[in-house]
Structure 1
Amino acid sequence: ASTLMETMVATVLIVVVFMMASLILNSLFSTKIKIQMNPLLNHLNELEYLYSHNKLSLPYFEEWEEWQLSVGPEGKVYIEETNGTDSESRIDQIEFYAPN
């Protein structure tokens, strides 16, 4: 009976160690992604400010770092990632607030 108990305790300890390692790695990767997106989000906030104060001539096109940004006349922002040679690119769409 003691061998069975030792095996159960060892199994639980191994599962807990792997679970903790998985949580730590997940936290590290998500933090890295958030840090990489902050400059883009700051730049989008700047564009939104310029748009809301009618300082942005529309349509607006810009290549910023590895991103292609475009703002249509209706205030919709299209973001396309141009990093690498992938034929597949991710396109996101954000809508700015209309100027007062």
Structure 2
Amino acid sequence: MDVLKRIKGSTLMETLVATVLIVVVFMMASLTLNTLFSTTITTNDEPVRQELLFLQYTFDHGKLSLPYYGELDAWDISVQEQEVQGTKTIVFLAVNTINNREVTYTK
């Protein structure tokens, strides 16, 4: 009757300790992923880069009058003509009002 041989199991305390360890590991992983995702969302500047590229396109085709000022969510956008060492350049600038990040294109 080898089939009915008794198999040694774990005690209740071992099971509770293992459960607590698993919960702690999943909690730490969840907090890390939450921080990673929130940082990625707050530092995402792709929409404002697309807007600046669109403004460059409209300026190239004569549809944008200077100076230009606008807003996109938390970004203040400006397009101005500046003179640097006798050369006129067009500066496309976006400044985030929350964290003061800047995105700049010059033409």
TM-score band by shorter chain is 0.5 to 0.7
Whole-Å Cα distance in 1 between the matches of residues 103 and 42 of structure 2? Answer: 19
Whole-Å Cα distance in 1 between the matches of residues 97 and 29 of structure 2? Answer: 35
Greater relative contact order: 1 or 2 (C-alpha under 8 angstroms, separation 6 or more)? 1
Question: Which structure has greater strand proportion?
Answer: 2
Aligned twin of 2:94? 79
Whole-Å Cα distance in 2 between the matches of residues 53 and 94 of structure 1? Answer: 20
Whole-Å Cα distance in 2 between the matches of residues 91 and 30 of structure 1? Answer: 14
Deviations 1:1-47 (A, max 9, x none): x89xx487456424421222123313542464377x55433322211
Aligned twin of 2:35? 26
Residue 51 in structure 1 maps to residue 66 in structure 2: no
CA contact (8 A) 1:76 1:93 kept: no
Question: Quick one: structure 1 residues 76 and 8, their matched pair in 2 at CA, closer, same or farther if it must change by over 3 Å?
Answer: farther
% identical aligned pairs: 23
CA contact (8 A) 1:78 1:91 kept: no
Bigger radius of gyration, 1 or 2? 2
Question: Which structure has greater helix proportion?
Answer: 1
Aligned twin of 2:84? none
Aligned twin of 1:68? 76
Q: Offset of 1:62 from its aligned partner?
A: 1.1
CA contact (8 A) 1:61 1:68 kept: no
Residue 94 in structure 1 maps to residue 104 in structure 2: yes
Superposition RMSD in Å: 3.7
3-state SS of paired residue (2:104): strand
Whole-Å Cα distance in 2 between the matches of residues 72 and 82 of structure 1? Answer: 19
Unmatched segments (≥5 aa) in structure 1: 84-88
Whole-Å Cα distance in 1 between the matches of residues 40 and 103 of structure 2? Answer: 23
TM-score (norm 1): 0.52
